[in-house]
Amino acid sequence: DAMVIQNPRYQVTQFGKPVTLSCSQTLNHNVMYWYQQKSSQAPKLLFHYYDKDFNNEADTPDNFQSRRPNTSFCFLDIRSPGLGDAAMYLCATSSHGGESQYFGPGTRLTVL
């Protein structure tokens, strides 16, 4: 089945220790998104790629970076995680911007 896969599902890191979250898709969608979601809040868009074009949200901290080496994969790098970065990180894809988005199961990040 076509899907969006996120690894790992749970990630524990130490304060200041870099971490990378991964997302892959078999849908062959052009657009990939990274969201941060804290408890009982709406997903907050961090950035997205339309093909290889990277679009950063104005309020996304520099601590967050992303890479999309090919259509199928997208990575979220957190260079120096702080306690405030503990959250669920959701990857999503869309065939065209603004249309229905398909979400992965998320990665729960804990920062010690």
Partner 1 sequence: SQQGEEDPQALSIQEGENATMNCSYKTSINNLQWYRQNSGRGLVHLILIRSNEREKHSGRLRVTLDTSKKSSSLLITASRAADTASYFCATEGNFGNEKLTFGTGTRLTIIP
Contact set with partner 1 (CB under 8 A): 4, 6, 31, 40-43, 45, 48, 50, 55, 88, 90, 92, 94, 96-106, 108
Nearer to partner 1 among residue 19 and residue 29 (C-beta):
29
- The whole-angstrom separation of Cα 22 and Cα 110 is 16
Give residue 71's Cα distance to chain centre: 15
- The whole-angstrom separation of Cα 20 and Cα 75 is 7
Nearest approach, Cβ of residue 106 and partner 1 (Å): 5
Nearest approach, Cβ of residue 80 and partner 1 (Å): 26
Nearer to partner 1 among residue 50 and residue 73 (C-beta):
50
Nearer to partner 1 among residue 73 and residue 102 (C-beta):
102
- The whole-angstrom separation of Cα 101 and Cα 45 is 13
Residue 105 in contact with residue 3, Cβ under 8 Å? no
Nearest approach, Cβ of residue 100 and partner 1 (Å): 5
Nearer to partner 1 among residue 71 and residue 105 (C-beta):
105
What is each CA distance from 103 to 62, 84, 110, in whole angstroms? 24, 23, 20
